[in-house]
């Protein structure tokens, strides 16, 4: 399953394996995702990490829209990542990043903030895409990738002011972190983003 392969990719990048298989937490039906959040409207995005406090602890699900995964099955980014499937790849990878980062910290009794999740996902999208493209292009550095993920990026128009501020801050600092003159250094440095302390705990009654 692709989400499992994406989790394995992140685990190799950071030497951070997790005993929790993201595929076991995946839901792809938007109606189910809405019901889990107690909402009547469909999710506003194609991926969401759903966190809620239950009687036995935290209940966790990862929603990635079925259409996104179907398109990625038809044009698998693990074989060829290009402008054609980059957006869908980033959608799926962002969800897997949220899941992997959250459970990695939870296993170590570390709190994570919503900003932590977004910042890590921004870095993960670039680092994972870079690793795949370097492999697929025999080491040729994709100079257009940074522009596609950071300079040309835009936010959803219906974000709240707080969400826009959080996403903007994560985007800004991830771009600064990932801006490197050569490809290998981003992989040498990404572990530091996982070891950085959190400022505040993520809310468990909403989505990230």
Q: Tell me if 40 is assigned to some domain.
A: yes
pLDDT of residue 195: 52
Q: Tell me if 75 is assigned to some domain.
A: yes
Q: Tell me if 206 is assigned to some domain.
A: no
pLDDT of residue 194: 53
pLDDT of residue 57: 75
Q: Tell me if 203 is assigned to some domain.
A: no
Count of structural domains, the chain: 1
Q: Tell me if 200 is assigned to some domain.
A: no
Q: What is the 3-state secondary structure (H, E, C) of the chain?
A: CHHHHHHHHHHHHHCCCCCCCHHHHEECCHHHHHHHCCCCCCCCCCEEEEEEEECCEEEEEEEECHHHHHHHHHCCCCCCCCCCCHHHHHHHHHHHHHHHHHHHHHCCCCCCCHHHHHHHHHHHHHHHHHHHHHHHCCCCCCCHHHHHHHHCCCCCCCCCHHHHHHHHHHHHHHHHHHCCCCCHHHHHHCHHHHHCCCCCCCCCCCEC
- Encode the chain (208 residues) as per-residue pLDDT tens digits: 999 999 999 999 999 999 999 999 999 998 888 888 777 777 778 999 998 877 777 889 999 999 999 999 999 999 999 999 999 999 999 999 999 999 999 999 898 999 999 999 999 999 999 999 999 998 888 889 999 999 877 777 788 888 889 999 999 999 999 986 443 344 445 544 555 444 433 322 233 3
pLDDT of residue 3: 97
- Domain limits for position 80: 2-195
């Amino acid at each position: 399953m692709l989400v499992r392969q994406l989790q394995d990719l992140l685990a190799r990048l950071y030497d951070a394996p997790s005993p929790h298989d993201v595929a076991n937490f995946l839901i792809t039906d938007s109606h189910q995702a809405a019901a889990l959040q107690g909402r009547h409207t469909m999710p506003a995005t194609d991926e969401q990490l759903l966190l809620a406090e239950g009687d036995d602890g935290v209940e966790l699900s990862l929603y990635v829209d079925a259409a996104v995964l179907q398109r990625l099955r038809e044009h698998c980014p693990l074989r060829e990542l290009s402008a054609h499937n980059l957006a869908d790849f980033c959608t799926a990878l962002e969800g897997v990043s949220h899941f992997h980062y959250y459970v990695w910290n939870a296993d170590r009794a570390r709190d994570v903030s919503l900003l932590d999740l977004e910042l890590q996902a921004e870095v993960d999208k670039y680092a994972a895409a870079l690793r795949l493209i370097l492999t697929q292009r025999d080491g040729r550095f994709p100079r257009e990738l940074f522009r596609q993920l950071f300079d040309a990026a835009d936010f959803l128009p219906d974000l709240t002011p707080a969400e826009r501020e959080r996403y903007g801050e994560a985007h800004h600092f991830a771009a600064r972190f990932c801006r490197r003159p050569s490809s290998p250094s981003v992989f040498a440095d990404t572990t530091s983003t996982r070891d950085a302390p959190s400022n505040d705990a993520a809310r468990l009654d909403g989505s990230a």
